[in-house]
Structure 1
Amino acid sequence: MVKYFSSLAVAGAAVAAIVVGVSTPAMAAGAGALDTNKKISLPNGRGTMTYIDDGDMFQVCDTRADGHGVTGQLRNGASGFPTMIEVTDGGDAGCDKKGYNVGNHLDEKYMMWLWWNGGGDAVVSEWFNE
């Protein structure tokens, strides 16, 4: 009887080692690969808008000293595209940021819009939520 339990314990330990060996790297890879930040960029290196998921921050950066600046907006697609926040950057050092609590419900969909204030079309992100 003791030999039976001993064999059972060894078999159980072997199965546990296999399960841990298989699932641990997969979980680590999945956790490391998860990145929910979003970024859009204007052509010709004029500017960027980034959604930083950790803290729900929106950062707009004017990346060219051309005297025009850039403007980014967060819009909600679930209720007719109203502007939830607007962030403008230009004429100063660094980027400008503003926070907005992005929802995670299936019916909440957001898009980022980014313009160069010197003219031209907006760059628009894909739909996203948290």
Structure 2
Amino acid sequence: MSISLGRRLGITAIAATSAVIFSATPALAHTNITIGTDQGRMTFIDDGDVFEVCDTKADGAGVVGKLWFNSYIGGDWYVEASGDDGGDDGCDKFAHNVEDTGEFQMRLYWTGPGYDKEIARSRTFNE
């Protein structure tokens, strides 16, 4: 059984288009998301759209969790909200409404001597 060249090209074009569309779409949150290393962690708690930032290493530095956003309309990524933790007991939290107006991404930074170093990054997500 042979398939014509035109039909093969058509099937290939459809498959390629589908792959691009589905790979570019951010994942829906609908679950909690946690990122981190031994220095700290950041968790998105979907129930209430709360972000928790925790310093987990007693090294004299803290961590900063930043929520980045990029609109579907276009433009660059920018920081929508942030929270930090370090030097105290427990974790710190901040609330931010995660909507379906673009892509969100969590990034966690270690605030060591002289600079903030990115230590973890989540997949993109939205509601």
Question: TM-score band (shorter)?
Answer: 0.5 to 0.7
TM-score (norm 2): 0.68
**Partner in structure 1 of residue 107 of structure 2:** 113
Distance in structure 2 (CA, Å) of the matches to 1:76 and 1:83: 6
- Between the aligned partners of 2:81 and 2:117, the Cα distance in structure 1 is 21
- Do residues 80 (structure 1) and 96 (structure 2) align? no
Give the number of the structure whose residues are more often strand, by fraction. Answer: 2
Find runs of 4+ consecutive structure 1 residues off by over 2 angstroms.
Answer: 119-122
TM-score when normalising by structure 1: 0.66
For 2:41 and 2:117, locate their aligned partners in 1 and report how far apart those are by CA, in whole Å. Answer: 15
Supply the RMSD in Å over aligned alpha carbons: 1.7
Extract unaligned runs of 5+ from structure 1.
1-33
Higher relative CO (CA 8 A, sep ≥ 6), structure 1 or 2? 2
Amino acid at match of 1:114: L
User: Counterparts of 1:71 and 1:54 in 2: how far apart (Å)?
Assistant: 22
Q: How many residues in Structure 1 have an aligned counterpart in Structure 2?
A: 93
Q: Identify the residue that residue 125 of structure 2 maps to in structure 1.
A: 128
2:84 & 2:53 partners in 1: Cα distance?
7
> How far did 1:77 drift?
1.9
- Identity, % of aligned pairs? 44
Q: 1:39 aligns with which of 17, 34, 39?
A: 34
